[in-house]
Amino acid sequence: MDKLSLRPHLSRRPSAPLSGRASVPGDKSISHRALMFGALAVGQTRISGLLEGDDVLRTAAAMQALGAEVSRDGADWLVAGRGIGGLTEPEDVLDMGNSGTAARLLAGILATHPLYVVVTGDSSLRKRPMGRVVEPLCAVGAQFFTRAGNRLPMTILGARDPMPLSYRLPVASAQVKSAVLLAGLNSPGFTEIEEPEPTRDHSENMLRHFGAEISVTDAATGRHIRLRGQPELRGADIAVPGDPSSAAFPLAAALLVPDSHITISGTGLNPLRTGLFLTLREMGAKLTVTAQRQEGGEPVGDITASYSELRAVDVPPGRAPSMIDEYPILAVLCAAARGTSRLRGLTELRVKESDRLSATAAMLRVNGVNVEIEDDDLIIHGTGAIPGGGLVETHMDHRLAMSALVLGQITAQPVLIDDARFIDTSFPGFLHLMRGLGAQMAAA
């Protein structure tokens, strides 16, 4: 990449505590699904609070290219769907930018539509493997042609006579589960999935919201999901809650900067997404939740964080599915805590926007933190005092970039990141929001 095209940013200690109330952009996972399910429904879906980051806008463009009508109506988005099985062949390649969620879920939809579609992405997405969705989706009768290692660009020939699946997930992955469920929508009979560990259930919640027949039961072998195929989904209004993965960054900054006190309003509190908040309370964080309510089938509330003296934590691997996107910012919090923390079972971080496990360790090391990787565990030796002064390579990873900028709020020397452009894929307005709360972050 041409270094002149980069957007380096510098983060330094603020001169005063962070304070105020703010709201974060809409949940990215729910935003993707709202557009996709709206395109598969009959009638109109109105979406309020949609995340208008690049990742989600790519999904909107893809649904429009597949025949749905997608438009803005003031602050809301409208989707006029085509119905199950009604999508049409696009005239061009579908470019999903940096979004692995969009690419993998879209593969599930296209697997059971008899269409010829080519899916690609940016240089980061083209490095990430698609085999985990290709393998089960081939079993419905679809054909996939990919580069070596099951990487994009990927050509999909959807099945003309799809077969329903009975599939046990080899690893806990909401993306794979959702891809199989989306394929099952246009398959006859019942699609059944077993997941060894519960993963985020936004797809199941939204399927019910649109009128699908779906059941979820817990058994000794894991969670069992059963979906009746070929329903008539009906357009429905959706209010997208604030993204808890985005809320994690300003909340973490408030916990770290002395005497800070901030509230993030309207944040999603789905219990399969709140592993970070549980972990923070184990570390001694002062977190309170108020104004709890339901919006669009999802629990929502206002979260307040106050400066806290944190202690080390040992996070079990079974918690990873409920906080998989929050490990980089948790690692920053562990670096500031006293004692040695161990974050276990992070194999999924190796197939994110970057090898997020190695990149997170590198972010801390370059700023003077003693950190180790043992198999898929991240071990962080926190001292409560972090030298800083490092240049963090973000690897086109938005969460790594935001985590490093939060780290710079407490280091003795400022922290520099090589590129902030990719933050907008998940958190447009991040820098403006953080500066409004008192953080010191600016272009270098």
Could you count the other beta carbons within 10 Å of the beta carbon of residue 13?
A: 16
- Residues listed for the chain: 444
Q: Residue holding tokens 């077969």?
A: 163
- Residue of 302, 325, 397, 424 marked active site: 325
Sequence-distant (6+) residues with CB within 8 A of 382 are 310, 312, 334, 335, 336, 337, 338, 339, 340, 341, 369
27 is a catalytic site residue: no
Dist. CA 179–CA 244, nearest whole Å? 22
Q: Are 254 and 307 in contact (CB under 8 A)?
A: yes
Sequence-distant (6+) residues with CB within 8 A of 3 are none
Cα end-to-end span (Å), the chain: 18
Q: Are 288 and 304 in contact (CB under 8 A)?
A: yes
Dist. CA 184–CA 163, nearest whole Å? 8
Dist. CA 260–CA 251, nearest whole Å? 10
Residue type, 191: T
Instruction: Report strand pairing: 415-417 vs 391-392.
Output: parallel
* Active-site residue list: 325
